[in-house]
Amino acid sequence: MNKAEMNDMPKMAPEMDMSKMDMSDMDMDMGGGQMMHMGNLKRKFWVSLILTLPILLMSPMMGMQLPFQLVFHPRSDYLVGVIGTIVFIYGGQPFFSGAKAELANKKPAMMTLIAMGIGVAFIYSIYAVIANNLLNVTPQVTDFFWELATLIDIMLLGHWIEMNTVMNAGSAVDNLAKLLPSSAHKVVNGETKDIDISELVEDDHIQVRAGEKIPADGVIVSGNTSVNESMVTGEARLVEKGPDGKVVGGSVNGEGTFEMHVTGTGETGYLAQVMKLVTDAQAAKSAQENMADRVAGLLFYAALTVAIVAFIVWMLVGNLALALSIAVTVLVIACPHALGLAVPLVVARSTAIAASHGLLIRNRDSMEKVKELNYALMDKTGTLTAGNFKVAEYQSLDPQVKADEVLSLMASLENGSSHPLAVGILKAAKAQKLTLATATDGHQITGVGLSGTVSGQTYQVVSAAYLDKQKLAYDQAAFNRLASAGNSVSFLVQDQQVLGYVAQGDQIKPEAKNLIDSLKAQKITPVMLTGDNAQSAQVVAKQLGITEVHASLLPEDKAKLVQQYQGDGSRVMMIGDGVNDAPSLASADIGVAIGSGTDVAIDSADVVLVKSNPNDVVEFLELARQTTRKMAQNLWWGAGYNVITIPLAAGILAPIGFILNPMVGAAVMGLSTVVVAINAMTLHIKD
């Protein structure tokens, strides 16, 4: 990645230096844009839980007098009232702040429903203490202090779990920051000086010695080496690097020593960008999470309406005390104990599973689109094949140029590139012990190849499709023979004259066949999109069982094909290696990058597979379906409880002699919460 590209990427603020970041210092949205510090939320939960214990011990359960209540009687009501007030003010504060913001936005949701429930429960419970102990009313009024305290505890726990999800998702990527060394060798006036990595800035000139971790993103200016980028990209192989080659901070240098120009530091480099990616992804709510808020908003209006109607009806057929008791019971029972945990618990479990399987999910809405998928479009090289090219044949097509000269010139032009085809050519030139010249003015020709100058002469390395388009003559019989055997063929061109070619073979990834079979089993049609020649693409497609193949494509051609497949309303997933596939990854309903290419990880993909294993796509699809199913089930459990108990609490079955006892309602409420929790914890995918 060059400096201009880096400048176009979103920057992280200096205060987000990952080497100094403490995940416990995170804030989270408590609703309506109200933020709560992680430490405060955790402390509020534990303090509220501890204060809830004496409330439970001194409150009647299902009408039974517990030992502690008998010991503290007659002052137990006062003690419960005092402690309940503390829990209400201290633990309930975040929900009232969130409700205020929701009402200001005219969008009552979860926070408003919780605030209404605990607010009504508190006021009525204080009235109950006064009525029972000072006014001596008969029959005695039931308070809701233990329901109030447990609701606050559960809601705080739900939000704490949700924040822990953010932390757990970020921790795997946060560990990448630890790949960076603590110091760097800065080159000043030809001499090296060791400095702390935090002092590195863009445009610095540094030296990286054999076996050291690379301290920052950059471009090599001198020296040749091989770099292990597996810890960052998931590619478990050494990549040859030379002048103008790009390196990523956190990868490990091989046996060579080189000097580099810094393009991205700990705050602006690749690792920082991925951390920002995770933070943004976790801050954004998915459709299911927004659904929980919408359900809560509907329950708010429903509970309020039912409570008012029930109050009026029972005033007419009963008395004020009974009407007030029933109305309050409706509002308290409407509190979303289970609904508040329904989505956070599933998200927490799903995120933990994703992290353990090497899945970085940028857009959680992508998981909910999986059930509607019709097509899986995928790149060939690096996605279905390993990208480990080996030269099978090279020849000259010009009598004045020797075959070794063709290979040497192409290797000189490709020197420093990490493209799989370039690596194969460089390895072959090295094996033949050919001398490489210095190439200048090198630049990529998007979707075609590259151009550069060697010894004052300008050359291009291009594909057969480019030659056909430019109507340049070449040995088509040799090309057909090599391409039909599955080789990728690159041609060397000078002044519109084809000088020779290099043919390279690639290996299909062992897991690719399972990916294609799994897609077909799920009624998802696999489609190959590749910039390689049609013959080579067909060889791979035939071995894997892919019937729809589009070859010799430019990046913009892939994006157009994505849109064509979407044209009839179909859902399309694009799987690519994150280099030339960026436009199509962005256009697809779900963009999946195999191998975390720097540009795609930031800009294009919805899902990044840390390991370059096609089977991870299968695991993503399974996890997405399981997660969506569990969320839907939990929303039904959470909302279903309210749908059933609110009418019962209002006395809809009173004509047959049944009115829901608040204690029974609370017990069912607790059972619903347990069911939601157990259901979330059963989320898993096959290893």
Identify the burial level of 684 via C-beta atoms within 10 angstroms of its C-beta, where 0-12 means exposed, 13-18 middle and 19 or more buried: exposed
Output the pLDDT for position 601: 40
How far is residue 392's CA from residue 506's CA, in Å, rounded to a whole number?
A: 10
Long-range contacts of 653-661 (CB under 8 A, 24+ apart): 659/326, 660/329, 660/333
How far is residue 58's CA from residue 40's CA, in Å, rounded to a whole number?
A: 28
Q: What's the residue count for the chain? A: 687
Q: How many angstroms separate the Cα of 557 from the Cα of each of 86, 137, 526, 563, 587?
A: 64, 80, 17, 10, 12
**SS3 category, 375:** strand
Q: Pick the catalytic residue: 379, 506, 606, 616?
A: 379
Output the pLDDT for position 23: 38
The closest of 629, 623, 634 to 679, measured between CA atoms, is 634
How far is residue 508's CA from residue 423's CA, in Å, rounded to a whole number?
A: 17
Output the pLDDT for position 231: 54
Q: Which domains does the chain have, with CATH numbers?
A: 181-265 (2.70.150.10), 295-358+626-687 (no CATH), 359-385+510-610 (3.40.50.1000), 390-505 (3.40.1110.10)
Output the pLDDT for position 275: 54
Q: How many angstroms separate the Cα of 144 from the Cα of each of 149, 151, 540?
A: 9, 11, 68
Element (H, E) at 600: helix 598-603
Strands (DSSP E) contained in 569-616 are: 571-576, 590-594, 607-609
Cβ atoms 36, 27 nearer than 8 A? yes
Based on the residue annotation, tell me whether 379 is a catalytic residue of this protein. yes
Q: In order along the chain (687 residues), what is the average pLDDT of each group of 10 residues?
A: 34 34 44 51 88 82 50 69 92 86 80 81 86 76 78 78 56 54 87 88 91 88 83 58 84 88 75 56 54 74 87 86 80 71 78 79 82 92 81 93 94 81 89 90 78 92 90 92 89 94 89 93 94 86 94 84 91 79 83 63 68 85 92 83 83 82 65 79 81
Which tokens sit at 655? 């004509």
Contacts of 302 (CB under 8 A, 6+ apart): 334, 642, 646
Helix runs in 136-213, H state only: 145-177
Which tokens sit at 394? 């090279």
Output the pLDDT for position 153: 85
Cβ atoms 186, 192 nearer than 8 A? yes
Place of tokens 């992280």: 12
